[in-house]
Amino acid sequence: MINKPDRNALRKKRQQRVRNRVKGSGQRPRLNVYRSLNNIYAQIINDERGETLVTASSLSPEIKGTVSGGNKEAAAAVGKLIAAKALEKGIKKVVFDRAGYVYHGRVKALADGAREGGLEF
C-alpha cells in the first residue's frame, strides 16, 4: 500500500510558506480565506496585535437565505459583505491571504467581490 500525502497537510505547508511572507499590520490587515466543502469564510486580521477585526461567511445572517453556501455566488456575496464591514471600520487596504488554496473558483470570486465592495489589495 502506497502512502499518499494528505491534501490538507500539503495545503497547510503551502499556507505556512505564504504566511511567512504575508503579514497583516494596522495599516494593511490580512484578508484570510477558509474554504470548506459547503461554506466559505473570510476574516480580516491584524497580525501585530493578534486580533480579528472583521468576519463574514456564507453562514452570516445577511447571506444565508439568499444563496447556497458552497458556490461562487456565495463566495462573491461573502467578499462584498466583508468589504462593507471593513469599510464601516475604516479599513480600505488589505493584504490577501489565500491560505494555500489555488487562486481560482470560489477563492477568486471572493477576492473579486471584495474588490467590487471597495477593498484594495
Q: Do the domain assignments include residue 18?
A: no
What pTM was estimated for this model as a whole? Answer: 0.86
The reply to whether 33 falls in a domain is yes
Q: How many domains does the chain have?
A: 1
Grid cell, residue 45, equals: 486580521
Backbone phi, psi, residue 66, to 5°: -90, -40
Average pLDDT score, the chain: 91
Structural domain of 88: 7-12+23-117
CB 106 within 8 A of CB 72: yes
Convert the pLDDT of each residue in 38-73 to its tens digit.
999 999 999 899 999 999 999 999 998 888 878 999
**Candidate from 16-30, 37-51, 93-107 with smallest mean pLDDT:** 16-30
* Spatial distance between the Cα atoms of 14 and 94, rounded to a whole number of angstroms: 20
Q: Which pLDDT belongs to residue 11? A: 87
What cell numbers appear for 28 in the block? Answer: 494593511
- Assigned domain for 1 exists: no
